[in-house]
Amino acid sequence: ASFLLLCFRTSLVTALIFSLLLQPPLTQLSIITQPNIVLLMADDLGIGDVGCYGNDTIRTPNIDQLAKEGVKLTQHIAAAPLCTPSRAAFLTGRYPIRSGMDAINNYRVIFWNGGSGGLPPNETTFAKILQQQGYSTGLIGKWHQGVNCESRNDHCHHPLNHGFDYFYGMPFTLISDCQPNETPEMDRAFRRKLWLSTQMVGLVTLTAALGRLTGLISVRWKMLICLAGFSLLFFISWFSSYGFVRYWNCIMMRNHEVTEQPMVTDRTTSLILRESISFVERNKHKPFLLFLSFLHSHTPLLTTEKFLGKSRHGLYGDNVEEMDWMVGQVLDVIDKEGLKNTTLVYFASDHGGWLERQEGKRQLGGWNGIYRGGKAMGGWEGGIRVPGIFRWPGVLSAGTVIDEPTSLMDIYPTVVHLAGGVLPQDRVIDGRDLMPLLRGTVEHSEHEFLFHYCGIHLHAVRWHQKDSGAIWKAHYMTPIFRPLGAGACYDRGFCPCFGEGVTHHDPPLLFDLSRDPSEAKPLSPDTEPLFDTVIRKMGRAIEEHRRTLTPVPEQLSVYNVVWKPWLQPCCGMFPFCWCDKEGDN
């Protein structure tokens, strides 16, 4: 009996050992649990500005280490070449044209905190789904998706109305107007025209008054008073907004409360870092989503004394190196709290670097490496190809490089599935879950076609022909670079999406990015036997894509974009909006 009992015990132990050996590895177990999710997004950072993407003059050791410990994407594509539409697509997993966040005019981003346009309340962000799944959700840094709709305190576009439990940062975006000693950046050309018009109207009024006093001109005093009143009203109508940009747009908020108006730029970086670290420490005992949306590396390139003059790339390089240090500080707190193996970290930029951003001989915008074009250019690769890095130890293999087309929109379904959520079934989601590709269980990206918009205008289409490995890209419209031979629109400061500033191509310009990633040599029917076949295939894809689009309110219409005093966030009694609650603390 004892022998049988011993045999039974031995077989039981053997079976137990085999069952343990046959258990799925840690990788499988980790997928089941809800990981913490940390999304790091740079602002206006070019793909050529990062060491692991080929830059050897700007030091980015922390971002480079993130790539060494995880997965680097070499064809990570923004859904738009500007902040507002790109970030709308990132948050919703949908092309911005679907939510009305792409422009029908030349106002292609949210222009004022006091505007009425923004991310519509009926859009479902990934933050909202993760919030429903029990995550603590926080956004630190830049928002640029609008604030109010109809009244100063309705906060219909605010982060807290889009699934974030906590918000600290800029509801707008960083601009040079936020620095008193910097040249104004916002609507610079239009502002010059307004000043000129004001001076001309004033000069006419003054001339008429002098003529009346000297008797050279016969004009009634009543007419002069009306003319003077018109001049004053015209001046007030535009100066009440453009004359106080720093007070209206350069503000900081904590949740719904304005904490700095205007923001004190000297301490912005340290406050954003402090808030990010504090959010991780407060929420380490439950699943959390942290979206750290950097103000770096957008002009005016706020950089602390510690990093000024330290890079080999001037102020822009200093700013990027400081952002890299901030990335390192956030990763350090994740490690210190023992969260490294249970946290998915993602790093990207919202779009390409701004080539035209210069002051004299100083280059204040980023570099897009070998890729043509930059920020604001809807089709050219330099405006939309961005860094894309994932790290999740034990789940994603370290040192992996994936050369497949992926999109910033893919973050949406990826994090929703990891959190155990369900994608909305009542709308088109353009993003694709990246986990199978990142983990190597599939060879190719799910994206066959990607559509590249500039505002509401379709500029280019990408076709990933998986059986051949070709990545075809057809340009139907391209911006006209000036001066001739330049690589950007230096005459305008921004490339337009339509009108006389673009060239229409029929047949379209065709490139195979797998052979010509710099888009230097367009193909033709003479040089490419598949030319007509590829163009026809893309034409059918465009038709199918357009059938999925439905009319929606235009969030960036002129009415929605203009400043409305009754919508302006204000920490005092409007128009006396001034406070420094951080300084008081």
pLDDT tens-digit map of 28-50 = 444 547 999 999 999 999 999 99
- Is-catalytic flag, 76? no
- Closest of 556, 575, 557 to residue 566, by C-alpha: 575
What does pTM read for this prediction?
A: 0.92
Cis peptide bond upstream of 507, omega within 30: yes
Residue pLDDT, tens place only, 405-434:
999 999 999 999 999 999 999 999 999 999
Tokens 């990206």, located at residue: 445
Q: Is 70 exceeded by the pLDDT of residue 22?
A: no
The CB-side HSE value for 471 (13 A sphere, CA atoms) comes to: 19
Length in residues, the chain: 585
Candidates 52, 76, 144, 351; catalytic one: 144
Cβ burial, residue 328 (10 Å; 0-12/13-18/19+): middle
Task: Quote the mean pLDDT of the chain.
Answer: 92
Which residue has better confidence, 191 or 465?
465
Which residue has better confidence, 191 or 386?
386
Candidates 7, 52, 76, 83; catalytic one: 83
Mean pLDDT of 305-325: 96
Long-range contacts at 153-159 (CB < 8 A, ≥ 24 apart) = 153/256, 155/256, 156/118, 156/121, 157/117, 157/118, 157/119, 157/120, 157/121, 158/256, 159/127
Tokens 């990788």, located at residue: 27
The lowest-confidence range among 99-113, 216-230, 353-367, 507-521 is 216-230
Mean pLDDT of 48-69: 97
- Is-catalytic flag, 83? yes
CB 46 within 8 A of CB 353: yes
Residue 18: per-residue pLDDT: 42
Alpha carbon of 195 to those of 10, 181, 237, 246, 358: distances in Å? 92, 20, 12, 18, 23
Q: For 43-174+250-561, CATH number?
A: 3.40.720.10
Mean pLDDT of 243-272: 97
CB 296 within 8 A of CB 355: no
Residue 425: per-residue pLDDT: 97
Both tokens assigned to 482: 């000036």
Q: Is 70 exceeded by the pLDDT of residue 212?
A: yes
Both tokens assigned to 402: 């994936």
Mean pLDDT of 306-315: 95
Q: Is 50 exceeded by the pLDDT of residue 5?
A: no
CB 391 within 8 A of CB 94: no
Residue 543: per-residue pLDDT: 98
Q: Is 90 exceeded by the pLDDT of residue 128?
A: yes
Q: Is 70 exceeded by the pLDDT of residue 3?
A: no
Residue 94: per-residue pLDDT: 98
Confidence of residue 250 (pLDDT cuts 50, 70, 90): very high
Amino acid letter, 134: G
Which residue has better confidence, 204 or 389?
389
Confidence of residue 11 (pLDDT cuts 50, 70, 90): low
Both tokens assigned to 412: 């949406």
Residue 195: per-residue pLDDT: 82
- Closest of 110, 368, 149, 158 to residue 255, by C-alpha: 158
